[in-house]
Amino acid sequence: MCSLSIALMMLQFQKILVLNLPFRTDRRDAMTLAAATSNIQLEFVDGVTGDSIRQSAYPPPEENIKLPVGIRGSWRTHMNALQRVVEQNLTTALIFEDDVDWDVRVRANLQRFALASRFLTENKEILSSSPKYSLENRPNPETPETAFHILSENGITEKLPSMPLSSVYQKPHRYPQPHQNEPSSPYGDPTEWDVLWIGHCGAGFPRYSTTSRKTDVTTSNVLLTLHNDKTVPIGKYLKAHPFQGDTDPLASAYPSHTRIYHRGSGGVLCTVGYAVSQRGARRLLHQFGIKGWNGIFDSELGRWCAAEDEKTKVANGSKTAKTQAPILRRRPQKPRERVCLTSQPPIFAHHHPMDGESDIGGLGGGYATKYETKYLRYSVRMNLEKIVREDKELVDQWPDE
Ligand SMILES: *[C@@H]1O[C@H](CO)[C@@H](O)[C@H](O)[C@H]1NC(C)=O
Ligand SMILES: *[C@@H]1O[C@H](CO)[C@@H](O)[C@H](O)[C@H]1NC(C)=O
């Protein structure tokens, strides 16, 4: 009973870490209050500023030291959070930036996400060759112009192979029960996934995978759909920020009030909220703390999830593989695939306060001068005053018309 109530407070992650520059006490106040009123327990990770990082502490390449100070501070703060996850050997952790917001119905959203992520991380079938699944191909409205530019290769698919979450699970309103003797996470075996990117400001549809045939539908390219999700605003409000011209491709690809769940291989922007498994934390800390880092962290993570670096290696690597094979004299072991999952619209989003400033290096900061949160209808931050007054009439930012 006790562990169950703790797990509920944690939203079913072992820890929730919040990145916060200690001098932004205003943000820590707001974050603490929003979490407390949602019965969520947090742990703060002190943010660092870019100019406090010694030159010798940067991974290659050398020019990353010339990046703006905010970007460098943000990178290091994310690394410190990942380092904590690895050091404490946490099975799973949710990492928040301190301007994160959520809908008051966050637990229901996460329960449904868990059903989707369990299927998407653990199912290894070729779905298109099994009669069990009712797949429907929808046209993909993405174009090279509207898709994310952080990815170099243009792997935009023609079709979106989709199937309802309800066709996979009979009762999509509860957390799935972990199987016996497995590391327990309702989001799927944490040795099978790296990143659950559930707080963002836009995501692309899955791209073609290098590990399966283009014509096969697998969990790497399928989109699970949840129709009539009352937490999803109608299409015309699906925008990541006020200056965005067109709505997100989600709005034209699926009926109103549809939430989708899929691999994050088509680019994702903003790291306002993402979960890592121990496996994911180790991989990311190795990649960006040690091996190499050279850009704003969300783009770097987006490229990592899309395996951009692996794609270049595959393209140039055939020669090296051949010369090494006789020396090694064993079957080359395929590295385990990177698994990043996302939901559209996101479950966590940026809240832009009045001043619209962000000290954590451009991540969601700078462009908004209005007090708002995109994507979240019953936003906790927008309703915070009512919530602390125990007013039951909360404001829906985008009622149906
Ligand atoms: C980390 O956790 C895993 C899984 O619970 C366990 O098998 C392993 O021994 C732990 N490692 C350390 C160093 O505690
Ligand atoms: C792979 O090839 C591309 C294009 O020729 C080149 O830009 C890149 O540096 C190469 N990468 C490696 C690791 O050799």
How many other β-carbons are positioned within 10 Å of the β-carbon of residue 389?
A: 9
Q: Does residue 312's CB lie within 6 angstroms of at least one atom of ligand 2?
A: yes
Q: Does residue 25's CB lie within 6 angstroms of at least one atom of ligand 2?
A: no
The number of the ligand 2 atom at minimal distance from the alpha carbon of 313 is 13
Cα(93) to centroid of ligand 1, in Å?
15
Task: Decide the pairing of beta strands 92-97 and 273-277.
Answer: antiparallel
The number of the ligand 2 atom at minimal distance from the alpha carbon of 316 is 1
How many other β-carbons are positioned within 10 Å of the β-carbon of residue 10?
A: 17
Query: What's 236's DSSP letter?
Result: G
Tokens 């096969």 label which residue? Answer: 216
pLDDT, position 275: 98
Non-local CB neighbours of 285 within 8 Å, separated by 6+ positions: 79, 82, 83, 86
Residue 268 pairs in a beta bridge with 203
Q: Does residue 170's CB lie within 6 angstroms of at least one atom of ligand 2?
A: no
152, 312, 314: which to mutate for ligand 2, most atoms within 8 A of CB?
312
> Which of 135-144, 306-315, 327-336 has the largest mean confidence?
135-144
- Please state, in angstroms and rounded to a whole number, the distance separating the CA atoms of residues 40 and 60: 38
- Please state, in angstroms and rounded to a whole number, the distance separating the CA atoms of residues 271 and 365: 12
Average pLDDT score over residue span 210-217: 85
Q: Does residue 143's CB lie within 6 angstroms of at least one atom of ligand 2?
A: no
Over its C-alpha atoms, the chain yields an Rg (Å, rounded) of: 21
Task: Give the start-end residues of each E strand in 134-210.
Answer: 136-139, 159-164, 195-199
Cα(312) to centroid of ligand 2, in Å?
6
Spell out the domain ranges in the chain: 3-309+337-388
Residue 274 pairs in a beta bridge with 95
Cα(316) to centroid of ligand 2, in Å?
6
Helix ranges restricted to H, 181-274: 249-253
Cα(150) to centroid of ligand 2, in Å?
17
Q: How confident is the model at residue 372 (pLDDT cuts 50, 70, 90)?
A: confident
- Please state, in angstroms and rounded to a whole number, the distance separating the CA atoms of residues 293 and 279: 19
- From first CA to last CA, the distance across the chain in angstroms is 43
Q: How confident is the model at residue 364 (pLDDT cuts 50, 70, 90)?
A: very low
Q: In terms of pTM, does the model score above 0.85?
A: yes
pLDDT over 50 at 166, yes or no: yes
